[in-house]
Amino acid sequence: MSSLPNVHQAEPIPTDARVAIDALLQSGDLFRYTAPQDAPVTLLEQEFAELLGSRFALAVSSCSAALFLSLKALDLPRDARVLIPGFTFGAVPSAVVHADCIPVLCEVAENYRIDMADFEARLDGVQAVIISHMRGHTSDMDAIMALCNARDIPVIEDAAHSLGTTWHGRNLGTIGKIGCFSFQSYKMINAGEGGIMVTDDPDLIARAVIMSGAYEHNWKKHTVLHDAFARWQNKLPLYNQRMSNLAAAVIRPQLPELARRVRDGRANHDYVAARLNTSPWMLVPEKLAPEVRAPDSIQFNMVGMTGDQIRAFSDVSEAAGIKVQVFGLSTDNARAFWNWEFLPEKTDLPQTRAMLMKACDVRLPVQLSRADLDAVADILLAAAEQVMGETRAYGT
């Protein structure tokens, strides 16, 4: 076999970033509120809002900070109940706890999307909802918005891993009241760390801007101004979760790359998915019809295998050079809800648990070549066959 792809390799940052960083290092102007105008963070907010089709954007230190500030901006009372999916990253329930709220978990189906019947059954008494589009898999946003709008429950979209995904042609993160994104290295745009939130609501953005650390009159350096800022001056705590100009300088030159990354990521994913689906032992679930995905990884369920066989499949794949994470089988996995021991209320979610015990996760960085993708698929297909014995005929 030819050389193995490195599925942990990041794409190089565009060289324009180097020029911008050099200028920042020369001037020492790293804080977003030093320059009277046009700081890189401010320009990023304008460009990102325009890219998404939102009125306002606020760049912060992480998507977790954006989720926390979203809950704070909604002015939820202490111990408010916030519904989240049972399949998400540990940062999501953590942001809820950080905001002095109580995470309420709902079931997620075999296709990694929220189980709508269970979601509806748990909505009573809930004061906000965070829809986490885990690994970019979009739940039924039409049904979610209908249920939440009817009850006047605000929806925050955790679109950390969904930048570039659309639903009925609309960008994910712009469907709920607030959308939150991540610039951590494993996401579509990489600044090491960073996050951003978007909303069309002037009061919410004013509150979030001030709480993010726009102390005194620094909010005046945000470009879309309105009365709400002055109204909230000195009324809110300052949590100092601002973004540095250095991060914005790394992010801005990547925005024009997004469309290509999304296109390549989707083509790569769909190519590998079609190959894996030829195996009787693997199934890549279908997306929902209104969704156009922007994947940089692939998830699939093992079919007809015991836990030990799935473990063996993962070991054989890793020995051959491709790391397969089975969400529910790896120790201390931050995406397995039973490891969130910090939750104030425990729930068992048998359906989500069963899914996590057979759901596999493999990174597929967008820059992989067709040969790389074939190498990944070959290893996974061979590992399944080795564990389950030679299959006589595919698809039977």
**Does position 92 bind ligand PLP by CB under 6 A?**
yes
Residues 384 and 380: their CA atoms lie apart, in Å, by: 6
What amino acid is encoded at 317 in this protein?
A: S
**Does position 112 bind ligand PLP by CB under 6 A?**
no
Among 54, 94, 132, 218, binds ligand PLP (CB under 6 A): 132
62: which 2 tokens?
């992480």
- Nearer to ligand PLP (CB atom), residue 69 or residue 375: 69
**Does position 69 bind ligand PLP by CB under 6 A?**
no
- From the list 302, 304, 321, 298, the residue with the least C-alpha distance to 378 is 321
In the complex, minimum distance from the CB of residue 288 to ligand PLP, in angstroms, rounded to a whole number:
17
- Nearer to ligand PLP (CB atom), residue 40 or residue 136: 136
Beta bridge partners of residue 170, listed in sequence order: 167
- Nearer to ligand PLP (CB atom), residue 32 or residue 161: 161
- Nearer to ligand PLP (CB atom), residue 173 or residue 195: 195
In the complex, minimum distance from the CB of residue 93 to ligand PLP, in angstroms, rounded to a whole number:
10
**Does position 63 bind ligand PLP by CB under 6 A?**
yes
- Nearer to ligand PLP (CB atom), residue 160 or residue 375: 160
Only segment of 58-66, 233-241, 255-263, 357-365 that touches ligand PLP (CB under 6 A) = 58-66
Burial class of residue 27 in the structure, from the number of CB atoms within 10 Å of its CB (0-12 exposed, 13-18 middle, 19+ buried): exposed
- From the list 35, 13, 15, 14, the residue with the least C-alpha distance to 24 is 35
- Nearer to ligand PLP (CB atom), residue 243 or residue 383: 243
102-106 sheet: strands from edge to edge: 56-60, 195-199, 178-182, 155-158, 128-132, 81-85, 102-106
Among 56, 89, 219, 271, binds ligand PLP (CB under 6 A): 89
- Per the listing, tokens 């156009």 go with 292
74: which 2 tokens?
């909604």
* Residues in contact with ligand PLP, shown as a per-residue x/- string from 133 to 172 under the rule CB under 6 A: -x-----------------------x-xx-----------
In the complex, minimum distance from the CB of residue 133 to ligand PLP, in angstroms, rounded to a whole number:
7
Q: Which residues in the 291-320 window bind ligand PLP by CB under 6 A?
A: none
Residues 372 and 41: their CA atoms lie apart, in Å, by: 36
Contacts of range 120-127, beta carbons closer than 8 Å, 24 or more positions apart? 120/147, 122/83, 123/83, 123/147, 123/148, 123/151, 123/153, 125/81, 126/81, 126/82, 126/83, 126/153, 127/76, 127/77, 127/80, 127/81, 127/82, 127/101, 127/153
Backbone angles phi, psi at 180, to 5 degrees: -120, 140
**Does position 45 bind ligand PLP by CB under 6 A?**
no
- Nearer to ligand PLP (CB atom), residue 118 or residue 157: 157
Only segment of 88-96, 231-239, 255-263, 266-274 that touches ligand PLP (CB under 6 A) = 88-96
- Nearer to ligand PLP (CB atom), residue 183 or residue 232: 183
- Could you tell me how many residues of this chain bind ligand PLP (CB under 6 A)? 15
Among 88, 244, 245, 317, binds ligand PLP (CB under 6 A): 88
Only segment of 4-12, 56-64, 145-153, 347-355 that touches ligand PLP (CB under 6 A) = 56-64
* Residues in contact with ligand PLP, shown as a per-residue x/- string from 184 to 203 under the rule CB under 6 A: x----------x--------
Among 138, 182, 199, 245, binds ligand PLP (CB under 6 A): 182
In the complex, minimum distance from the CB of residue 70 to ligand PLP, in angstroms, rounded to a whole number:
12
In the complex, minimum distance from the CB of residue 94 to ligand PLP, in angstroms, rounded to a whole number:
9
In the complex, minimum distance from the CB of residue 298 to ligand PLP, in angstroms, rounded to a whole number:
15
**Does position 62 bind ligand PLP by CB under 6 A?**
yes
Could you list the residues that contact ligand PLP (CB under 6 A)?
A: 62-64, 88-89, 91-92, 132, 134, 158, 160-161, 182, 184, 195
